[in-house]
Structure formats: C-alpha cells, structure tokens
Chains A and B, each alone.
Chain A
Amino acid sequence: MSRIGVFICHCGENIGGVVHCDQMAEALAEHPGVVVSVDYKYMCSDPGQNLIKEAIEKHKLTGVVVSACSPRMHEPTFRTACAEAGLNPFLCEMANIREHCSWVHADRDEATRKAIELCRMMVEKVKNNQQLQPIHVPITKRALVIGGGIAGIQAALDIANAGHEVVLVERDASIGGHMLQLSETFPTLDCSQCILTPRMVEVARHPKITLMTWCEVEKVDGYIGNFEVTVRKKARSVDMEKCTGCGACMLKCPSKKIPSEFNAGILIPDPENPRKKLGYRTAIYTPCPQSVPNKPVIDRANCIKFTKGKCGVCAKICPTGAVDYEQEDELVVEQIGAIVVATGYQVWSVAKAAQDYPYIGYGEYGYGTHPDIIDGLQFERLLSASGPTGGKVMRPSDGKEPETVVFLSCVGSRDNEKGFTYCSKICCMYLAKHAMLYQHKVHHGQTFNFYMDIRAGGKTYDEFSRRTIEDDGCIYLRGRVSRIYPRDGKLVVQGADTLSNAQVEVEADLVVLATAMIPQPDAEELAQKLRIPYDKDRFLSEAHPKLRPVESQTAGVYLAGTCQGPRDIPETVAQASGAASKVSALFSADELEREPMVAEVHRAAPPIFSICFGCFFCERVCPYGAIEREEITARDGSVIKTVAKVNEGLCAGCGLCAASCRANAITLKGFNDEQMFAVVNAIGEEEGF
C-alpha cells in the first residue's frame, strides 16, 4: 500500500502568486494513497527540506512528490534530502508547477487546476517507482581538448599541470588559433605572439600532453569517464619523426601563390617589386614561423605534385628524407574520460554571406569587391610585426600608406534584419585598439569610427577607448553607414551622425569592417558528434546560463572560449581554466556514480527464463551498442535460448529499446511502462481537465 507525501512549494510569489497552493494541498490530501499533503513557502530551503525529511520518518512514506520548479533545477536537491531521511532517492519525483504552470499562465483558477493535475500525474507515477541503486563506473583519467587556440592551450596546460594526461587535437598545422594572428591585445597593448608563444611551447614540451595537430575528431562514442574518441590524423605528407623543421622545403616550393590563411587572405603589393604581392604561402608550409610544432604540412589541393603529378622538389631538397607523398589519413582511437570543446570562432565573411547563411549580408559595403575594404582580422595582420608588411600599414590596392581610415562597428552584429541578433562583444575594443595602433604608426593619419554604442565593459576597457578618442584623435561618429563606393581612387563612406543629426561623407583610403564573430562552419557537425546542444546561432550551449557556464548538457563534455559565444581573451582564459578545474575535479575520484536510469531485460525463474524471445530488434535500434546477447544454458551446457542483456555501462537510458520491444521484455528503469501508463491514466481525473 502506497504512502505518498506531497509537498507543494510556493517559491515565494513565483508559484504562490498564481497557484492557490492551499487549495492544491487540500485536493491532493484527498488523492488515494496520499497520507500527507502540505504547502510551504520555500521547499528547497533547509526548513523546507526538513519538512520532507520529518514527514518521511513520521508517516513512513513510500514515495515523495515535490510540486515546485522544474526537475531540471531541483530534482537532485530533493532526491538527496530523501536519501538523507532513509528513503531511496528514486522514490522522489517532482511536479513542475512553476516553469510549466505558474510562470506561463495568468488565470489563478485555471493554473491551480492544472497544477493539481500535474501533481496527481506524478503521485500516480511515484506509486509505481522502484528503488534503484546508482551505478558505479570507473573513470579514465585522460582528457581530450578539441581546439588548440588560447582556450584549448589554457585548458590543456591546467589539466596537465594538475597531473592528468591530455590529448590536444588541433585541425590546423599549428596550435595558436586566432590569438596568434593578432598584433597587440587590448587594453594593455601586449604583443599577442610574445605572450602566447611561450604557452604554445610549454604545451609541446609538457610530458603529460599529447599534441595532435593536423588532426580532427571523427567520432565520439561512450559516456562520461569512458569516452572512446576516434581521431583522424590527416595525411601531413611529412614524417614528423624525420623532419627537423629546417624549412628548406618551404623556400624551394614552386607553388608560391596561395593566399595565406594565417594572414587572413590579405595580399599587399610588394614595395620592392610592384608586380609581386606579399601575403602568400607555399604549398608545403607552416602557418607562421612561430608554429608549434614547427614542422610543415603539404596542402595537397594546391601542391603541383598532387595536382599535376610532377614536381617533387621538396622531397629532393629535404636533407632528412621526411617528405612522404604516399602518406595516408590514419584513424586512431583514444580512451578519454572528459572532453573540453574549445573550437573557437570565425569572423563572418560578409562577402560570402548570401551563399553561406540565410542572412542578407552587406553588399552595399563592398567587402570582397574592393581590395581596400577589409575585415578586422585582416587589419590585424597589417598591423602585426609578423604580418605580410612587417607591421607597416599599407593598403591592398596599391601598397600606399592610407591617410584616412574608417572603421565600421556592428557589421552583422546586433542586426535583426541582415545579420545576427547578438553583440560580438570584442569589436568596440579592437576597433579602438586598431585606431590607436594605426595613429601610433601613421602620425598624420586620421581615423573615423562609425558606432552604434561603445560597449567597453571590462577592467580599464572604458579608459582605453576614451584614450583612442581623446589622446589619439579618432573621430567617433554615432550612426550607421549606408553605402561605401569608390570615387577617384578613394572610398566614399556615406553615413549618418545621429548625435549632430547630419549626413556625413568621409573619403577614406582604407575601410575596416568589424564583422560579426560566428562559430566555426562545422560547429553543428561537431555538436552532433558530441551530442551537445547549440543555440540558434550555432554557438554551443552551456548547461545553465548562470550557474553552469563551462559545462555542456552532456556529462563529461565541457566548453571553453568562443565556441560558446563571443568573448575576449581574458574571459576565454578564465573559462578554459574553469573547464579544466571541472575536469580535474572529475578526475579526483576513481569511480563515478551514474544515475541508474538504464534499460533492463526481463528475467524470470525457469522454465520461462525471460519473455525476451531473442528478435534483437533492440540491438538494431540501440545507438550505444549496449545490447548484448546472453545464452541461457542447461546444466549440460546446451543453449536453451539466447536473450538480450543490457550493458549498464554503455546504456544511456534513452528507452528506444523499451519502445521498440515486441515482447515488452525490456523496460527502462525510472520510465517503465507501469510508470508511464500510470502518469497518462491520471490525466483527466479532475473534471474540467
């Protein structure tokens, strides 16, 4: 006979302000099997939890229903409270009368009726709940970090320094990411490469870190503590063991006209030979001289040997015979306990907007049609001492020093009509930095910045952007630009100055667009491999926006950096360290407790053994390969029948097998048929629904 306790939370006014909790308690007290039904202001508070614990002891409860917020919020709280009072935690269920009722309905009577019914449904469910015991699984203390930008580097170093093994996978030929491309960083004007390269070298040297560049994650199987990750080692065409990184191959490679990704594709006429351009790379290349590892790869799409079959200069010149044209992609499987995703961002190439995204883009700004209209990352390369011009500001069309530079904020950001709704967060600051660095290099130059708002939140950020305006004389114009077009060797920027209510026209030599920060083009694909959710803009979603910002919804998968949303370097580093400490905490125990919501195949005494008749349809639908075959044998060893068996370590508890089983032999613990039908049966008990 069930003895159920119902505990109704007011959540202050959140529930109590809409639902008549007292009426609800009275109605539930009459429900069959309910022996105690009370309401209280804050059930999750200590006194609230004590109320539950005391009732469990006093009324010898066999089940508890807490009518409060979403179980996604407080289910662990109340289950723990029950366990503390000696009740199996899985005999506690929650009825969600806040998110699904009081917050979304205004009519008090209607909301009360619904809340009562939701609560009845859970009472009926809990009557059918069974005691379950947590599953203990071992943890592989080895982390995978996906992405070798500053986020991945920081996470890898932190985890490795805590004493755990790390595999760092980077799809590019070198780690470093976007930060390595930057000239100087706001607000201190630290040289980006100077502060980053020591970290990169530390990663390469660290005895606990396995660095896998030119590699991509192919497949992810398993679950927290026990992932099995397949990594594709793309054919580098260079033997890493033999290569010494001398660079002779790159000097001799005849394919010299490939725009360098590291230079963000910007090409500048060579002042010494106007027919040549700077900013190219060769087909066998390292992204930049500071690359880690400093060993090249062959870009097969552009290599003459691979496209035309002739050449082979690099193999001839290589003193150690490291070039290997026959190399093939290789798949390696790594046993991993936790994963940090740090795949970073891209800047939106507004020229390609129409093909890539369902957004209109900014054709009127002429990006991609005029060489002197560039994006922020390209200007960053122009300013950088390691850039194509060695840090001299030159414009791409004719190599002249631009005397008037116009910056445009929010190109694609904060624009519901033509771009993305979100703020890219870093642009206000990097444009201020760009203007400042430009003025430091070109003293007679003039800069203009068209902005919507100056968002300089952060330690000494506002002071920094004020310096750009007050000390370096950048003219900030609050308004949008409607059009940019070439006229007499200049670029005419037509815009509005909404503070003086005037139309402005600036004749510029160079225009820099702060285009939106967007996730990597294959962010969705990776998220699907990892089974983690992402938002409408394809940024990966955190488990809770306030309280679990570095975890994904999937246990054992953590997020760091701009793959989760736009942010700057210090925030990225902080988040990466946060994710790393989560991993270290996970690795501090040898075993992990998992929720026992797994499938179970029916077993009975002989001569039935099991109602499973061995069709193994469950085996076909199971996404985790968790169904095994078990032979039931007689004493003489002969097989009586073969039935399904669930590997509890692999089962993730989706219930596909249970819904597919023709014999009804598989049930999902916690969501078994008795429970599900009891819930549905409770619907409509209240007249008026």
Chain B
Amino acid sequence: MSRSSQDFEPRIVAFVCNWCTYAGADLAGTSRLKYASNVRVVRVPCSGRVDPLLIVKAFERGADAVLVSGCHPGDCHYAEGNYYARRRFAIFRDLLLYLGVEPERVQFSWVSAAEGAKWADLIDRLTAQVRDLGPFEGYHALIDAAKAVS
C-alpha cells in the first residue's frame, strides 16, 4: 500500500519492557502528557525478549519505524536482559544499515518507570524524524530484491 507524502502519518511500533518503559509510558498517561498518537506499544517482559524477526514483521506490516526500549543499563528487572537486547540490536541494526535502511527507522532507547516525560519527548521526536524521512517504501523494494536474488 503506498501512501502519498502529503497526508503522511508515520507508523511507529514500539517494543517496550514491562518494568521500565511500559511503566514510564503509563506515567506519561497518569501525568496527562500529550504526545503524538503514531505509536503502537507492544508489551514484552524484557527488551531482551525482542526477537529481531519481530522488528522485521513490524516493517512488513507497514511500520515506518521501530523502537525498542527497556530499562537503563544496570537497572534491568532481570539483571542483564537489556544488555543482551542492546547487543542483539546493535548487530541487527548494522545489518539493516548495510541493506541501506536509514538508521532513524530502528531506534533503541532506555526509558525508566520514572521517565514519563522522556517517553513523551521520545515519541514526539521519533515521529517528527520519521515524518521528515517519509514512508518506508524501501522495505518492499528490499524484499523484491531479495526474492530476485533467491
């Protein structure tokens, strides 16, 4: 589905951990902070649970950007899950960059349960970045190219 850039509303999928970022997003709500409605939150127990294939799936479903967010380093509810998430993410992101995906489309962040305002700012900033970037139409080109090779 192609969308014209005039009425382009970015689609952002956020995989967030239950203990820090999800609670931070809850706090943004409790504090009645207003932010862009472009984000869809998927709750996972830990950012370490996020399989890179889930990110690919989100792009396949038409996401223009994906955010993975967990607890701050050292604060992980599961001691070290966020470190694994970060390492896995770094490698996966390198792969995407190699394929020519703009770095803004896959982002990683730490938002604690006390950082409602940070969450709201993050979503606003991310939405603005992706709005400038335009729709992620390159995804389907990539898939077509991959199919052609195989």
A binds B: yes
Interface size class of B (residues with CB under 8 A): 35 or more
Segment with Cβ contacts to A, from B31-39, B94-102, B140-148: B31-39
CB-nearest residue of chain A relative to B30? A99
Docked-complex contact A535 and B84, CB < 8 angstroms:
no
Tell yes or no: A41 within 8 A of B by CB: no
A654 with B9: in contact, given A621-B84, A676-B44 (CB under 8 Å)? no
A104 within 8 A of partner (CB): yes
Give the nearest-CB partner of A524 in chain B.
B74
Q: Which residues of A contact B20 (CB under 8 A)?
A: 533
B78 with A531: CB separation less than 8 A: yes
Min distance, Cβ A544 to any Cβ of chain B, angstroms: 10
Docked complex Cα distance between A208 and B16 (Å): 44
In the complex, how many residue pairs between chain A and chain B have their CB atoms under 8 Å apart? Answer: 150
In the complex, the chain A residue whose C-beta lies closest to that of B88 is A659
Cβ B46 vs Cβ A684 within 8 A: no
Q: In the bound complex, do residue B45 and residue A623 qualify as a contact, i.e. CB atoms below 8 Å apart?
A: no
- The answer for the CA separation of A396 and B81 in the assembled complex, in Å, is 52
Give the CA-CA distance A113 to B9 in the complex, in Å: 13
CB-CB < 8 A to A535: which residues of B? 114
- Chain B residues near A117: list those with CB within 8 A: 40
* Closest Cβ neighbor of A102 among chain B residues: B29
- Cα distance A289–B75 when bound, in Å? 40
CA distance A673 to B120 in the complex (A): 29
Does residue A100 face the partner (Cβ distance < 8 Å to B)?
yes
Within 8 A of A (CB), among B58-77: 58, 61-63, 71, 74-77
Question: Taking A111-B37, A524-B74 as contacts, is the C-beta distance between A99 and B44 under 8 angstroms?
Answer: no
Residue of B nearest to A221 (CB): B79
Assess the A656–B46 pair: CB atoms within 8 A. yes
What separation, in Å, do the CA atoms of A554 and B79 have in the docked complex? 12
Does A434 interact with chain B (Cβ within 8 Å)?
no
Hey, what's the 0/1 contact readout for A20-61 against B, CB within 8 Å counting as 1? 000000000000000000000000000000000000000000
CB atoms of A104 and B54 under 8 A apart = no
Which residues on A sit within 8 Å (CB–CB) of B62? Answer: 683-684, 689
Name the residue on A nearest B38 (C-beta): A689
Complex CA gap A567/B25 in Å reads: 28
A541 and B84 form a contact (CB under 8 A): no
Q: Are A668 and B45 in contact (CB under 8 A)?
A: yes
Q: Which residues of A contact B50 (CB under 8 A)?
A: 659
| Residue of A with least CB distance to B11 | A689
Are A533 and B84 also in contact (CB < 8 A) when A72-B23, A676-B42, A676-B44 are?
no
Residues on B with beta carbons closer than 8 Å to the beta carbon of A101: 37
Query: How long is the Cα–Cα vector from A639 to B23 in the complex, in angstroms?
Result: 47
With both chains docked as a complex, state the minimum distance between the C-beta of A213 and any C-beta of chain B, in angstroms. Answer: 28
Q: Which residues of B contact A524 (CB under 8 A)?
A: 74
Closest residue of chain A to B28 (Cβ to Cβ) is A104
Report the bound CA distance from A274 to B25 in whole Å. 62
Chain A residue numbers with a CB within 8 Å of B120 are: 104
Q: Which of chain B's residues has its CB closest to A679's CB? A: B42
Interface flag for A236 (CB, 8 Å): no
Q: Is A681 in contact with chain B by the CB < 8 A criterion?
A: yes
Compute how far the CA of A677 lies from the CA of B42 in the bound complex, rounded to whole angstroms. 10
List of A residues within 8 angstroms of B25 by Cβ: 99-100
CA gap between A103 and B26 in the complex, in Å: 9
Q: Is A471 an interface residue (CB 8 A)?
A: no
With A72-B22, A654-B45 known as contacts, the answer to whether A541 contacts B113 (CB < 8 A) is yes
CB contact between B45 and one of A107, A597, A689 (< 8 Å): that residue: A597
Can you identify 27 A-B contacts, CB atoms within 8 angstroms? A70-B29, A71-B43, A100-B25, A100-B29, A104-B33, A104-B35, A107-B37, A114-B40, A531-B77, A533-B75, A624-B78, A654-B45, A654-B46, A655-B46, A656-B81, A658-B49, A659-B48, A659-B84, A659-B88, A668-B45, A680-B54, A683-B61, A683-B63, A684-B11, A688-B9, A689-B11, A689-B40
* Besides A72-B23, A118-B40, 14 other A-B contacts (C-beta < 8 A): A99-B25, A99-B29, A99-B30, A100-B26, A104-B34, A527-B75, A531-B78, A533-B112, A533-B113, A656-B49, A658-B51, A668-B49, A689-B40, A689-B62
Pick the 5 closest A-B CB pairs, nearest first.
A99-B29, A655-B49, A654-B78, A103-B29, A654-B46
